[in-house]
Amino acid sequence: MSEPLPRFEDILELVQAYHPDCDEVLLRRAYVFSAMAHKGQRRVSGEPYLVHPLEVARLLAQMHLDEIAIATGLLHDLLEDTWVSEEELAAQFGEHITSLVRALTKITTMERSFAARQAAQAETFRRMLLASIEDVRVILVKLADRAHNMETIGVLAEPRRRRIATETLEIYAPIAHRLGMGALKARLEDLAFAQLHPGEYARLKAQLEQREKVAAPLIAEIRQVLTRLLEEHSIAGKVHWRVKHLYSIWSKLERQGIGLDRVYDFLAFRVIVDNVPSCYAVLGLIHQIWRPVPGRIKDFIAMPKANAYQSLHTSVIGPQGQPFEVQIRTQKMDEIAERGIAAHWRYKEGHGARQESERIAWLKSLVEGQLDNPRDFLNSLRLDLYPEEVYTFTPRGEVLAFPQGATAIDFAFRVHTEVGNRCAGARINGRLVPLRTPLRNGDIVEIITSPTQVPRRDWLEWAVTAKAKNKIRAWLNRQEKDQAVDAGRRLLEREARKLGVTLKRLREEGSLQKVMTDHGVAKEEDLLAAIGYGRIAPRDVLAPLVRPVGEPPPSRPRPLPTGDAVIVVKGARDFLVYRAQCCNPLPGDEIVGYITRGKGVAVHAANCPNVRRLLFAAEREVEVAWEGESGSYSVPVHVSFEDRTGMLAAISKAVADQGANVRSCHLSTHDESLGTIDLIIEVRGRDHLERVLASLRAVAGVTIVTTRVNQGEARRGKAV
Ligand code: MN
């Protein structure tokens, strides 16, 4: 690059053209200070370093930004690359500009932490970036910085060039898009494309130029027709056309696997008019000349895109039968489409920006159009696209996202339950802090554990995430349950003494077992705990057992029998447990429990489709586990077959061959050729079921064998 050093005076002139009474002194001081600090430094290309901040400032002036943004552009690399300290910068330019430069330096730090990232984290990085930024000007300066770096990237070594180009494509071009800056986005994408696929870039560029040449007469004709159309109807307006940027065409070719000759919308016409009614009028007139392609009329005026883009789009069939796109919009909409949020920034003359605090001035200068201010714009952007989240790093550079307000406790439980249960303190960005310290964007968090630490009740106040709260509660509950069991035993024994019976006798008679079933608990321990917690009165447990002879048993709804004492609810209290009928989990399956309304804990296979729906109610989830693999379990099996005699016998045999029992069986024939058998079979576990299914599938004439919703062909299951 041997371009002449850009002149500060030219940039100043550029600013004064749209902002005549800008703070010239501030800009000049920023320039001189930057020149001094960067003195003697050279870029990899060999040119003086100062070229870079000047070019960034020029780009910002081209966006018509205010002097704060331009001064920040001039100073943006000082903290990172020179001897200038934050204190010195603040003394010279005040806290505001310093905070913007600081934020830019922080982005560079984040980029470094992300250099070794997995590709899938680009989205996370974009979120983190937008979430951590207080002032949109930081992003705008960053984008200008990146645009100039991309333009001068040719001198860098290949791996570094690829990394920066990839980062530009995955992170900064999408941010420009989110901010509605169409022109900058296209520029960043094409610059990155040229680096990442130089061969294809050159080839496509040549092809497009060729196509453009061939299409020239057609372009001229269409343009003329459109211009005449405006004249004839006395609509003030202009007609432009443009070829889409290379990267967008290339992605389309890649995505659809087609050749360039099949891309019809590589060129688009644009009609810029004065007002909204004219937009719709022009649309109607165009459709009278050329037939619209059905389904391709888009009204982004009535329904603006999320990034505030507004325009009417239509695709029509051209004079020689080829489709092309026309975009119709007002001057204002066009500016927003090209410059996005920067268009909202435009300095308004006579606003008296210097009388008010900078922030207010900035907000007010942006009160234009349907977006009230850029802060709203930024907030709505975050709200729409990114929930309010905080992004933090583990010491190894992994990114963990948390809801706002989350603390080091949440971080600890996110790392691992054991880390949470044993966490004694935290180190955030190298400093020792209390566990209740809220996490902030970009924090590097390290959890300190101690083998003697246990969860405390006040942690519940500090934890924000459901996971941390659940784990803390589970641990506390386990502790409390032991105490409750003790208390329950004492209470029940005292009640028994009053009634003149002993628990030992009741246990031997089996009547204690019966009363447990009545109360929906599976184990004596759970019954005792329920008494200890005060949820069941000892009298209610014992009174029915010692009632006078002949009196009918008290009628109360009988809960479902468990039959599944081999499933335990971890760390929880006395719950009735049953296997969900949609997936009929078997030993060997991964299982999860959900607390149902009034029926105890439903145990599902972890891959049951109903579980995915229930995940939205995470607070109902409890940990369950198989305890031993004894017993047999009922599972429905549906067998379809081509009707033939002896099928029922063959199927029974296939089941019996595998050592399973048929508990019930229902046969139906649909017509001469087809029938189904619905079986309930009893198996010992998952593997056993698999063997039975294989055996059934091997029976001659059997066409389909299905079972639980999570296995084989899906069947509608019952939700809990
Ligand atoms: Mn820079």
Q: How far is the CA of 48 from the centre of ligand 1 (A)?
A: 13
Host H or E run for residue 459: helix 459-462
- Whether residues 586 and 658 fall in one domain: no
Q: Coil, helix or strand for 592?
A: strand
Q: Which of 140, 155, 170 is a domain's end point?
A: 155
336-367 pLDDT, tens digit each: 888 877 776 554 433 333 322 333 333 333 33
Q: Percent of the chain at pLDDT above 70?
A: 82
> What's the pLDDT at 146?
95
- Whether residues 70 and 108 fall in one domain: yes
Instruction: Please tell me which of 23-27, 556-560, 650-654 the model is most confident about, judged by mean pLDDT.
Output: 23-27
Q: Give 55: exposed, middle or buried? Use CB within 10 Å, 0-12, 13-18, 19+.
A: buried
Q: Point out the residues that are catalytic.
A: 80-81
| Mean pLDDT score, 537-562 | 56
Distance CA 97, CA 449 (A): 41
CATH number for the domain harbouring residue 673: 3.30.70.260
- Whether residues 34 and 55 fall in one domain: yes
Q: Within a domain: residue 173?
A: no
Q: How far is the CA of 359 from the centre of ligand 1 (A)?
A: 25
Question: Which carries the bigger pLDDT value, residue 215 or residue 574?
Answer: 215
Local confidence band at 380 (pLDDT 50, 70, 90 cut-offs): very low
- Whether residues 622 and 641 fall in one domain: no
Q: Within a domain: residue 277?
A: yes
Q: The dihedral of CA 285, 290, 291, 292: what is its sign?
A: negative
Q: How many CB atoms lie within 10 A of CB 597?
A: 7
Q: How far is the CA of 397 from the centre of ligand 1 (A)?
A: 24
Q: How far is the CA of 53 from the centre of ligand 1 (A)?
A: 7
In our burial notation (b when 16+ CB lie closer than 10 A, e otherwise), range 317-330 reads ebeeeeebbbbbbb
- Give CA torsion, residues 36, 42, 43, 44, to 10 deg: -170
218-241 pLDDT, tens digit each: 899 999 999 999 999 999 999 999
Q: Comparing 84-88, 241-245, 619-623, 687-691, which segment has the lowest mean pLDDT?
A: 619-623
Local confidence band at 385 (pLDDT 50, 70, 90 cut-offs): very low
Distance CA 381, CA 386 (A): 7
How many residues make up the chain in this entry?
720
Distance CA 300, CA 326 (A): 13
- Whether residues 302 and 444 fall in one domain: no
Q: pTM value?
A: 0.53
CATH number for the domain harbouring residue 235: 3.30.460.10
Q: Within a domain: residue 178?
A: no
Q: Within a domain: residue 166?
A: no
Per-residue pLDDT at 261 exceeds 90: no
Q: Which amino acid, residue 373?
A: N
Q: Percent of the chain at pLDDT above 90?
A: 30
Q: Note down the domain range covering 478.
A: 474-546
Question: Which carries the bigger pLDDT value, residue 533 or residue 9?
Answer: 9
- Whether residues 11 and 150 fall in one domain: yes
- Whether residues 614 and 643 fall in one domain: no
Cβ–Cβ under 8 Å, residues 179 and 341:
yes
Cβ–Cβ under 8 Å, residues 593 and 600:
no
> What's the pLDDT at 360?
30
CATH number for the domain harbouring residue 442: 3.10.20.30
Q: How far is the CA of 154 from the centre of ligand 1 (A)?
A: 16
Number of structural domains (the chain) is 6
Helix axis angle, 158-167 relative to 136-151, nearest 10°? 150
Per-residue pLDDT at 543 exceeds 90: no
CATH number for the domain harbouring residue 93: 1.10.3210.10
**Running DSSP on this structure, what letter comes out for residue 438?**
B
- Whether residues 447 and 384 fall in one domain: yes
684-707 pLDDT, tens digit each: 888 889 899 999 988 888 888 888
Per-residue pLDDT at 715 exceeds 80: no
Cβ–Cβ under 8 Å, residues 600 and 520:
yes
Per-residue pLDDT at 641 exceeds 90: no
Q: Within a domain: residue 103?
A: yes
- Whether residues 75 and 142 fall in one domain: yes
Q: Which of 512, 546, 580 is a domain's end point?
A: 546
Q: Which of 321, 343, 365 is a domain's end point?
A: 343
Q: How far is the CA of 88 from the centre of ligand 1 (A)?
A: 19
Q: Within a domain: residue 719?
A: no
Per-residue pLDDT at 147 exceeds 90: yes
> What's the pLDDT at 364?
33
Q: How far is the CA of 56 from the centre of ligand 1 (A)?
A: 8
Distance CA 77, CA 89 (A): 12
Per-residue pLDDT at 145 exceeds 60: yes
- Whether residues 17 and 91 fall in one domain: yes
Place of tokens 């070019």: 55
> What's the pLDDT at 617?
59
> What's the pLDDT at 57?
96
Q: Within a domain: residue 455?
A: yes
- Whether residues 386 and 502 fall in one domain: no
Q: Within a domain: residue 122?
A: yes
- Whether residues 436 and 481 fall in one domain: no
Q: How far is the CA of 146 from the centre of ligand 1 (A)?
A: 7
